[in-house]
Amino acid sequence: MRHLLSTRDLGRDEAVAILDVAEDMADVADREIKKLPALRGKTVVNLFFEDSTRTRISFEAAAKRLSADVINFSAKGSSVSKGESLKDTAQTLAAMGADAVVVRHQASGAPSVLAQSGWIDAGIVNAGDGTHEHPTQALLDAFTIRRRLHGASARGRDLDGVTVTIVGDILHSRVARSNVWLLSALGAHVSFVAPATLVPIGIRGWPVTVGYDLDAAIAAKPDVVMMLRIQGERMNAAFFPTAREYARQWGLDDERLAKLPASSLVMHPGPMNRGLEISAKAADSAQSTVLEQVANGVSVRMAVLYLLLSGNAGEK
Amino acid sequence: MTARLVLQSADITRALTRISHEILESNRGASDLVLLGIPTRGIVLARRIGEILDSIEPGSGTVGFLDVTMYRDDLAKNPTRAPSPTQIPAGGIDGKTVVLVDDVLYSGRTIRAALDALNDIGRPRAVRLAALVDRGHRELPIRADFVGKNLPTSSSERINVRLLEVDGVDEITIEGGDA
Amino acid sequence: MSILITGATLPDGTTTDLLVDGGVIAATGSGLSAAGATVIDAAGLTALPGLVDLHTHLREPGFEQSETVLTGSRAAAIGGFTSVFAMANTSPVSDTAGVVEQVASLGAEHGYATVRPIGAVTVGLKGQMLSEIGAMAGSRANVRVFSDDGICVSDPLLMRRALEYVKTFDGVIAQHAQDPRLTEGAQMNEGALSSELGLAGWPAVAEESIIARDVLLAQHVGARLHICHLSTAGSVDVIRWAKARGIDVTAEVTPHHLLLTEQLVRGYDSRYKVNPPLRREEDVLALREALADGTIDIVATDHAPHPLEAKECAWDEAANGMVGLESALSVVQAAVVDTGYLSFADVARVLSSKPAEIGRLAGYASAFAVGDHANLTLYDPSVSREFGVEHLHGKSVNSPYLARTLPGQVIATIHDGYATVLGGELLPAEEVARSARSTSAEAARG
């Protein structure tokens, strides 16, 4: 794997292979010495133009567990914030010998531009670009679902027939997009629930069913309900009238949680707005996978970095 | 290229039986023994040895498997290798006598990687090595404690180990060479 | 200087010799000869009237790092253009007689093409107060086309006043149709692809609704209206409807909207970022048909140069625009001539006589009769080239056609009776400037 820019390009077999490697990486977390020497001597740069402590720390932990060296380049207080261009930053990193660059950027497509530009030879991992994709998030979501469903015998399995309902600001969500492609490639049935203003235009051809009614979606007993974070600014741009109305119509409150089958998973990519799109009780329930998603994120990112960076230069 | 048959099913069984007895002898019994097979065929052999140990002294065949992919010294020189699972038996390896089991001992680098992997997992009292075939040409100071068959070969030859559980048949052949 | 062109094929298909002398077509026929004339063997070449671009960005004054009047008119000449209308979004904005006269005189001095400045509709392009349209019309620059291009005149009352006011001066408002509220932060055509790529959408309705409003306004006040860079099938429908009701509206389309679609945005290569954005295949086909049936009157390049750093970045940060003067004729050939929509006679109309008429530019109504102003270009439609940076002659290289195979090549361009391009190469600047001086001196004497 040369770059991981999107889940759109991942086929079923490649996705299952990544998840299987992540299983082995997860076992490392249970050992006394949580380290593998596989990426010793490699340099991984976290190039974060958008603030995100959680994702950055996750990638940092993943790289360090594989014995790689980590350099953090975050937007605040660096030359990046002083307006240094993407091109100059990339060439600086290349001169410093980065083997992989994990990029988070507010512009959709920025990691693709980096990968195709020729400014840097490193493997590029998309850690979230604008409203386009967040592939490692989708991978850790799929990993979490697979593990919860199949436990120790998850290796080699896909998500055939699993029903997943994604609720919230689909329009601005890179997590939703990455999950649609990945989960459906793994055989799951994906549906969206959102107000019509927050559903992207022209998605009739996507492998997803769209609905506006959360209660109806819950009555259909989905295996997984994935809640997306809602941002207050959307209210000012007239996507919905008030936070209160949004929570009433599309929030996973205690009443809706009670109607959900006990076996259904409640997922959230974080950070959560407790009381807005998800109630505190739902967030802390036994069905909630929020904390596992964080732990699984490290394993999945270890798998991705390993697949990107081990292997001979001839492949690159 | 013609392949010469050097060991058949019965030969393999006899070798494994002898190795099992040697393990018990050198360990003075079966206590604190852990067999760890190295994927892929090492796992099969470890299981078979475990069964034989169990038949001699019930409960003595504690078997697991140890994947060494992450510890190889040639990761950067080859295409990306997918790792296999590692399973350490419930009692762990601290203070135990670990017997690594592999099908062919050649350069010794796989075993060096296995020793590094063990190091990150725990602290065994002792580590031993059982190999079905020792074909010489060591590149590191590694030796096997228990050997099924010594097969001196030239480096241009290939040793093929086939086992029933993986390949459908038990046999060891040599092919190639400057014939 | 005199130029003898032998064996050229005219747009109507006939072959003829042309003698250019004293700035006009001095003689036509066969077997012409002239002592001391520069001879051009035009066998196999198509003679077209000098092309007129009603929509170019020359960037001077203020943005000389992207283009200047000199470099822009050189790019025009190699593209077969003998006149360009320069848009007003310069710095300072072309909203006074002073600025437009400066741009016009720079063009005349350099001599590669007749530069007709376009005046801004509103002061500073701010959309609030009308600029001094009368002063610009009466200036030496003779402005007749007024546009805030880059920005839409979105206030309906202001648009009404502008349409009414320019009637006084036989002017025309050229509208950049883009409702600002519907396209805040827009990056590409709104549709399934923009949803997939995570890029903010520029919906077709933002263009079509402004056109619908403006044609009705033009009808109501009895004014001329011109719509810049039509890009959607829906816009074509609105224009067709308007013309059927007798509304005096003209429309233009760019070469890139006749050839390229939004699928090119997939790789996030900002060479394909332009305003209005590349649209769907259905839109491209509707635009071609509209050009063929006259619903769209002209082709205009919207040549928009940008420096390297404005395009070598993430899509969101990149500037909108493509250079197009040098490639225009080749792209038009590939998109609508080789595909059978237009003949070269139609090309002469949509790229020369009609834009000149809309811009009230004299001397382009007829091109090849004795006594006509000598503005013409000789074009070889039979060659095929991989378009490269070496074919660009402006200051900027933001072309979407690099590494694409395009047909045709301009072999010679004659402006006001003197050559600006010979043998497929631009003539040196000092020589062209000298020719321009002596031609204007002759004109002054005669």
Average pLDDT, rounded, for chain A: 92
If pLDDT is split at 50, 70 and 90, which confidence band does A314 have? Answer: very low
* B81 contacts chain A (CB < 8 A): yes
Cβ of A24 and B76 within 8 Å?
A: no
Rg (CA), chain A: 19
Domain ranges of chain A: 12-134+295-315, 135-293
- Nearest residue of B to residue A26, measured between CA atoms: B85
| Mean of pLDDT values over C111-134 | 97
pLDDT of residue A80: 54
- pLDDT tens-digit profile of C304-357? 999 998 999 999 999 999 999 999 999 999 999 999 999 999 999 999 999 999
Strand C418-422 and strand C405-415: the pairing is antiparallel
Mean pLDDT across the stretch B103-123? 94
Q: What is the pLDDT of residues C15-67, one digit of tens each?
A: 999 999 999 999 999 888 888 899 999 999 999 999 999 999 999 999 999 99
Q: Does C282 touch chain A (CB under 8 A)?
A: no
- C193/chain A closest Cα distance in angstroms: 8
Interface contact A310-B116, CB threshold 8 A? no
Q: What is the 3-state secondary structure (H, E, C) of A149-207?
A: HHHHHCCCCCCCCCEEEEECCCCCCHHHHHHHHHHHHCCCEEEEECCHHHCCCCCCCCC
Which residues of B38-163 form beta strands (DSSP E)?
63-65, 97-105, 126-134, 146-150, 157-162
Distance CA B19, CA B148 (A): 7
Closest CA to C377 of C414, C345, C344, C348: C414
Chain A residues in contact with B114 (beta carbon < 8 A) = none
Superfamily the domain C49-358 falls into? Metal-dependent hydrolases (3.20.20.140)
Nearest C-alpha neighbor of A133 from the set A116, A110, A99: A110
Considering Cα of A12, then A15, then A21, then A22, what sign does the dihedral take?
Answer: negative
Contacts of B118 in chain A (CB under 8 A): none
Q: Alpha-carbon dihedral of residues A130, A133, A138, A139, nearest 10 degrees? A: -120
Instruction: Choose among C198, C267, C269: nearest Cβ to A108.
Output: C198
CB within 8 Å: B75 and A17:
no
Looking at residues C78-102, what average pLDDT do you find? 97
Q: What tens digit of pLDDT does each residue of A134-165 get?
A: 999 999 999 999 999 999 899 999 999 999 99
Q: Do the Cβ atoms of A310 and B77 come within 8 Å?
A: no
Per-residue pLDDT, averaged over C424-442, amounts to 93
C contact test, residue of A7, A89, A108, A236 with most C CBs within 10 A: A108
- Arch. (CATH architecture) of A135-293: 3-Layer(aba) Sandwich (3.40)
- CA nearest B118 in A: which residue? A33
Residue B86 and residue A17: Cβ atoms within 8 Å?
A: no
Q: What percent of chain B has pLDDT over 70?
A: 98
Across the interface, do B121 and A32 touch by the CB < 8 Å criterion?
Answer: yes
Q: Which of A167, A171, A149 is nearest to A158 (CA)?
A: A149
What's the pLDDT score for residue B178? 60
Q: What integer pLDDT is reported at residue A316 of this predicted model?
A: 40
CB A8 within 8 A of CB A133: yes
Burial of C445 (0-12, 13-18, 19+ CB in 10 A): exposed
Cβ of residue B123 closer than 8 Å to a chain A Cβ: no
Distance of residue A74 Cα from the nearest chain B Cα, in angstroms: 29
Judged against a pLDDT cut of 60, whether residue A81 lies above it is answered with no
CATH T-level fold of C2-46+372-383+402-445: Urease, subunit C; domain 1 (2.30.40)
Note whether B72 and B113 are within 8 A (CB). yes
Cβ of residue B77 closer than 8 Å to a chain A Cβ? yes
Percent residues over pLDDT 70 in chain C: 100
Which H, E and C letters describe C258-300, residue by residue? HHCCHHHHHHCCHHHCCCCCCCCHHHHHHHHHHHHHCCCCEEC
Give pLDDT, residue C334.
Answer: 98
User: Is a pLDDT exceeding 60 seen at residue A293?
Assistant: yes
Residue C418 has pLDDT above 50, yes or no: yes
Q: Are C335 and C290 in contact (CB under 8 A)?
A: no
Query: Does residue C290 contact residue C240 with C-beta atoms inside 8 Å?
Result: yes
pLDDT at C300 over 90: yes
Cα angle value A165/A171/A172 (rounded, 5°): 110
In the prediction, which pLDDT does A17 show?
Answer: 95
Query: In angstroms, what separates the C-alpha of C266 from chain A's closest C-alpha?
Result: 9
Chain B interface disruption, residue of A155, A310, A315, A316, most B CBs within 10 A: A310
pTM of the model: 0.88
Touching pair B, C by Cβ (3+ pairs < 8 Å): no
| Contact: B79, A24; criterion CB under 8 Å | no
Closest-approach residue (CA) in chain C for A118: C312
**Residue pairs between chains A and C whose CB atoms are closer than 8 Å:** 75
Question: Nearest by CB to C309, which of A85, A105, A112?
Answer: A85
Whether the CA torsion C272, A48, A69, A22 is positive or negative: it is negative
Q: Do B120 and A27 touch (CB under 8 A)?
A: no
Say if C199 is an interface residue toward chain A (CB within 8 Å): yes
A-chain residues near B73 (CB < 8 A): none
Are A201 and C316 a contacting pair at CB < 8 A?
no
At which residue do the structure tokens 């904390």 appear? A291
Interchain contact C263–A (C-beta under 8 A): no
Can you list the domains of chain B with their CATH numbers? 3-176 (3.40.50.2020)
Q: Which residue of A has its CA nearest to B120?
A: A33
Residue A78 predicted with pLDDT over 70: no
The dihedral through the CA atoms of A208, A212, A218, A220 has a sign that is: negative
In 3D, which of C324, C349, C354 has the Cα closest to residue C255? C324
Of B71, B83, B86, Cβ closest to residue A21: B83
**Chain A residues bordering chain C (beta-carbon distance below 8 Å):** 8, 85-87, 105-110, 112-113, 116-117, 129-133, 174, 177, 200-206
Question: Which pLDDT belongs to residue C322?
Answer: 98
Domain ranges of chain C: 2-46+372-383+402-445, 49-358
Per-residue pLDDT band for A32 (boundaries 50, 70, 90) equals: confident
> What was the pLDDT predicted at B59?
84
| Distance of residue A287 Cα from the nearest chain C Cα, in angstroms | 31
Class of the A12-134+295-315 domain?
Answer: alpha beta
Q: What is the pLDDT of residue A86?
A: 86
pLDDT of C371 > 90? The answer is yes
Confidence of residue A33 (pLDDT cuts 50, 70, 90): confident
Residue C120 has pLDDT above 50, yes or no: yes
Answer yes or no: same fold for A12-134+295-315 and A135-293.
yes
DSSP state of C37: P
Catalytic residues of C: 302
Min Cα separation A75/chain B (Å): 32
Out of A41-45, B64-68, B154-158, C284-288, pick the least confident: B154-158
